[in-house]
A and B are shown apart, each in its own frame.
Chain A
Amino acid sequence: MSSYRIHGATGEWEVVIGLEVHAQVASSAKLFSGAATAFGAEPNTQVSLVDAAMPGMLPVPNRLCLVQAVRTGMALEARINPWSRFDRKNYFYPDLPQGYQISQLYHPIVGEGEIEILVDEKDEGSAKRVGIERIHLEQDAGKLMHDQHPNFSYVDLNRSGVALMEIVSRPDMRSPEEAGAYVRKLRSILRYVGSCDGNMEQGSMRADVNVSVRKPGGALGTRTETKNVNSVRFIMAAIEYEANRQVEMLESGGRIVQETRLFDPDKSETRSLRSKEEAHDYRYFPDPDLLPVELDEAFLADCRASLPELPDAKRRRYEQALGLPAYNASVLTAEVETARWFEALLTDLGVHGSPATPSSPEQELARRASNWVISDLFGALNRLGRTIEDSPVGPAQGAELLRLIADGTLSGTLGKQVFEIMLETGQDPARIVEERGLRQTSDTGAIETAIAEVMAANPDKVAEYRSGKDKLFGFFVGQVMKAMQGKANPQVVNELLKKALG
């Protein structure tokens, strides 16, 4: 794996990246109130008196949010802290009604863990481990709108108090690609666990990107923090821009200021947030409205028992038990919905997830199924602009199609034809084969008749072929298949043609 370097005037520079990902906890109600968390509601309709910080209102924690943070920690093989506590982070802003955010500074619910990423999903050698420093729970802020009125900003508190997990990585990443792979992998794990929907467009996941540069192997440089970047592409672009800016700054004799920056997606650059630069002093202290969080064994056992098979384990199983190529296994496990769809397909095909003997018919079927999903199904979905969750063809129909191909009812070509019709009509493949007569034929009599007709119609080509122009064989196959309306078994056509052409 070649390392990512910025080539400056004074030589090469290494980039050091750490990410703080804010992931919205998948819960119906907020962290400390019973108001809803659903996206897109009318302003201030999902606000309780607690969220609006009315005098005398008190927080009561939502159990599910604690469960989700713990399950996420377990999925990242992190240390779960049986004793944690909520702290107040104090600052004034109109999107923060209490004047403080309830967060966890001193004793987070989850401690150190680790994520394994594949920087290049086609290259097992690109694997790398990124350390997790901590996960803590905290409240989201409300939303400010600046463009509705000439003199006012508007405040919507619907998001105020929604539970977030802040997942803090170690500064272990060294390139935009590694950061991208980290976020994709983290998102995948969160979605497997079900602790966050991973919807970056709706702001369910966003990252604070910490970047510094140094001469390879040198001491860590001063970092900047680019706040609230909300797509993998933007995160990578922000790193790219920020790293180059820092190198230029340092090489021209400047100094990096530890500061908060903002990413501008239109210009693909970061900008200093000077307006917020005044001395921050958050005056954290334990929230006296809340008692410490003490997790007992039963709570932890329940969390552990509810964890699904995670992407890495699944990928290994696909490779080892199902005999899938590494690339296929990686692609099929990257998203929980894909894996779910693929496993439903396997179940319908009668292939089970338990270890089979190498190159058994089951493994062969699984391998073909995986190829079909990756090339045919993904290709079609791409074309239709759909996700696997709203695929017009379900796993049961896919299995039926694959079975028709496996038992010779359909040739590969016919299979593709039937699949297209399935996509268009939503009909079952067997019915399509039946109604449209698309069954592949191995009837030697019919094929021989067609061959005879083709040869009779093309005496000159026959002569050329026989005089050594082997390339023409393909032409004859094509003509025969055409005469058979594509339904002839291609192997039988090949055999009989060879015989007839001598």
Chain B
Amino acid sequence: MTSLTDLGIAQIRDGVRGGAFSAREVAEAYVAAVEKGRALNAFTVETPDHALAAADAADAARTSGDLKPLSGVPLGIKDLFATKGVPTTAGSRILTGFRPPYESTVSANLFAAGAGMLGKLNMDEFAMGSSNETSAWGPVISPWRRRDGGNAALTPGGSSGGSATAVAARLAPGVTGTDTGGSIRQPAAFTGIAGVKPTYGRCSRWGIVAFASSLDQAGPMARDVRDCAILLAAMAGFDPKDSTSLDLKVPKWEANLSSDIRGRRIGIPREYRIDGVPAEIDRVWEQGIQRMRDAGAEIVQVSLPHTKYALPTYYIIAPAEASSNLARYDGVRYGRRVQPAQGGLTDMYEATRAEGFGAEVKRRIMIGTYVLSAGFYDAYFNQAQKVRALIARDFERVWESCDLILTPTAPSAAFALGDKANDPIAMYLNDVFAVPASLAGLPAISVPAGLDDQGLPLGLQLVGRALDEQGVLDAALALEERAGFTARAEAWW
């Protein structure tokens, strides 16, 4: 018999429903896996009691015949989501000790759907990072290792690195992530799992520690496309507490899921072929294109002319919003306060923020403060918002000739911890393919598509029209079926 931790969300849900095993057994198996996986540093807090209580409720619900969509499914929750009474730090020292007296809408939706929580997942500090190395609680380690036998600790990507590792190492069947400029898709690609960034406004941002408000979106990360569809449906939905939430019914993504994409037009944007990208990335992309063609899709060459400006645009808008969003961490109402002896209020502010924030967060706050400061607003922020409009317009035009866009998710496979830690721009380039869809608010997914020479997973990204998560999921399913990606990290921890 396979281990219960080999089961994904759909299998657990169906198994509990059918009585193949109890939710309690599943939860216990995963709680044990979480404990055993501590070397990966994926969790900042473990909450076995929460997972077990939800499991018991699921078992009781089965007896009484009112199982919910996620009854019996234990999940990991990224530490960016406020969880009532459970420490929530966003990977930052400045939120040390913070226990929110409230539950984020997305986690509340998941719990209302019967899910339990295994714990909070490590992440880059305030979701700023692409390697999980900016976490105040230490980097998360990928379960994957290179074939070269060097055993260098690899990054799971970021910022949802704890989320990615938890799924890839079978510490959780599914998790929440958040994606501001690739933070779900890039770690999903690095760890050989699936991850969806839905249309901006699908998932409520209420109770998610804000990084860049106009970009932040929560989304699911799981082992396959179907599990992502199930999880996303439970996370999404209109929330009157978020002014930017979309007042729309949640579609039945799982029920409508179909890999029949005959006649679908898949766009291949020429601007995504950039210099310096390893040949293996191109190879996997070409394979993906061929698989789409095999599935009956029509391949269309398209152009997104402003692509090269997406990353610099993002590195103006996101830091600008962040510099303001993070002003509330001032040592007054929650979290850490550092009071220099004999110091006044300003000294307290400056010491609290200097000691509370890590280097990357400070760097971005400084950039954001600079680009908004007197005399630079038009040249930087306003210019960036105009270029952003052009990037969104590029997509609008492309949708006249295709239905989806297929690209690599990231320009490389997972790199070793420390490799890029001293070169911010090299780090930022990780998200070169992910950021355009974020700026335009479009739904996108990363699915595992193959392995590189070192045996590390590579992902492909599908981007769709606003609100067309179904189209994205369907094409991803077609790719998944044809890729037959079964590789998994050997448990060394």
Contact = CB atoms under 8 A, between A and B. Distances in A.
B333 A52 contact: yes
B213 A54 contact: no
B243 A285 contact: no
Interface stretch (B11-19, B203-211, B307-315, B474-482): B203-211
A285 B209 CA distance: 20
Q: Is the interface of A mostly helix, strand, loop or mixed?
A: loop
Contacts of A59: 243
B374 A54 contact: no
Contact of A88 (B95, B207, B241, B324): B324
Contact of B213 (A60, A283, A288): A288
Interface residues of A, number: 29
B343 to A, nearest CB: 12
B207 to A, nearest CB: 4
Contacts of A291: 243-244
A420 B206 CA distance: 63
Interface string A94-105: 100111100000
B86 to A, nearest CB: 13
Contacts of A283: 323-324, 369, 372-374, 377
B36 to A, nearest CB: 31
A97 B328 contact: yes
Contact of A49 (B98, B102, B209, B321): B102
Nearest to A280: B374
Given A56-B207, A56-B210, A285 B332 contact: no
Contacts of A60: 240-243
Which of B100, B209, B327, B372 lies at the interface centre, i.e. has the most chain A CB atoms within 10 A of its CB? Answer: B327
Contact of A100 (B82, B327, B334): B327
B214 interface: yes
Contact of B332 (A57, A88, A97): A97
A285 B328 contact: no
Contacts of B346: 92
A49 B346 CA distance: 24
A58 B334 contact: no
A98 B327 contact: yes
A235 B178 CA distance: 52
B118 interface: no
Given A90-B372, A285-B377, A55 B328 contact: yes
A283 B346 CA distance: 19
Interface in A360-376: none
Which of B82, B326, B346 lies at the interface centre, i.e. has the most chain A CB atoms within 10 A of its CB? Answer: B82
Contacts of B81: 56
A221 interface: no
Contacts of B242: 58, 60
A289 to B, nearest CB: 5
Contacts of B328: 53, 55, 97-99
Interface residues of B, number: 44
A59 B241 CA distance: 8
B244 A281 contact: no
A405 interface: no
A54 B102 contact: yes
B373 A285 contact: no
B345 interface: yes
A103 B369 CA distance: 18
A58 B205 contact: yes
Contacts of A49: 101-102
Interface string B97-136: 0101110100000000000000000000000000000000
A61 interface: yes
A250 B100 CA distance: 56
Interface in B282-341: 320-321, 323-324, 326-328, 330, 332-334
A57 B206 contact: yes
Interface in A31-88: 49, 52-61, 88
Given A60-B243, A61-B243, A285-B324, A55 B90 contact: yes
Contact of B333 (A56, A97, A285): A97
B206 A289 contact: no
Interface string B209-252: 11011100000000000000000000000001111100000000
Contacts of B214: 288
B88 A55 contact: yes
Which of A56, A94, A155 lies at the interface centre, i.e. has the most chain B CB atoms within 10 A of its CB? Answer: A56
A472 interface: no
A55 B373 contact: no
A153 B240 CA distance: 36
B381 interface: yes
B395 interface: no
Contacts of B213: 288-289
Contact of B373 (A53, A281, A290): A281
A403 to B, nearest CB: 56
Which of B208, B243, B346 lies at the interface centre, i.e. has the most chain A CB atoms within 10 A of its CB? Answer: B243
Given A55-B82, A100-B324, A281-B374, A92 B330 contact: yes
A96 to B, nearest CB: 9
B382 to A, nearest CB: 9
Nearest to B328: A53
Contacts of A57: 206-207
Contacts of B244: 289-291
Contacts of B212: 288
B349 interface: yes
Contacts of A92: 327, 330, 346, 349
A289 B209 contact: no
A94 B337 CA distance: 13
Nearest to A93: B345
Contacts of B241: 58, 60
Nearest to A153: B345
Interface in A375-399: none
Interface string A398-427: 000000000000000000000000000000
Contact of B209 (A55, A99, A153): A55
A271 to B, nearest CB: 20
A54 B332 CA distance: 11
B67 to A, nearest CB: 30
Contacts of B95: 55
Interface string A281-317: 1011100111100000000000000000000000000
A44 to B, nearest CB: 10
Interface in B450-480: none
A99 B365 CA distance: 13
Contacts of B207: 56-57
Given A288-B214, A289-B213, 4 more contacts: A56-B206, A56-B210, A58-B206, A99-B327
19 contacts: A49-B102, A55-B210, A56-B206, A56-B209, A60-B241, A60-B242, A90-B323, A90-B327, A94-B330, A97-B332, A97-B333, A99-B324, A99-B327, A283-B372, A283-B373, A284-B372, A285-B377, A290-B243, A290-B244
Interface of A: 49, 52-61, 88, 90, 92, 94, 97-100, 153, 155, 281, 283-285, 288-291
Q: Rank and list the top 3 A-B pairs by shortest CB-CB distance, nearest first.
A: A99-B327, A283-B372, A288-B213
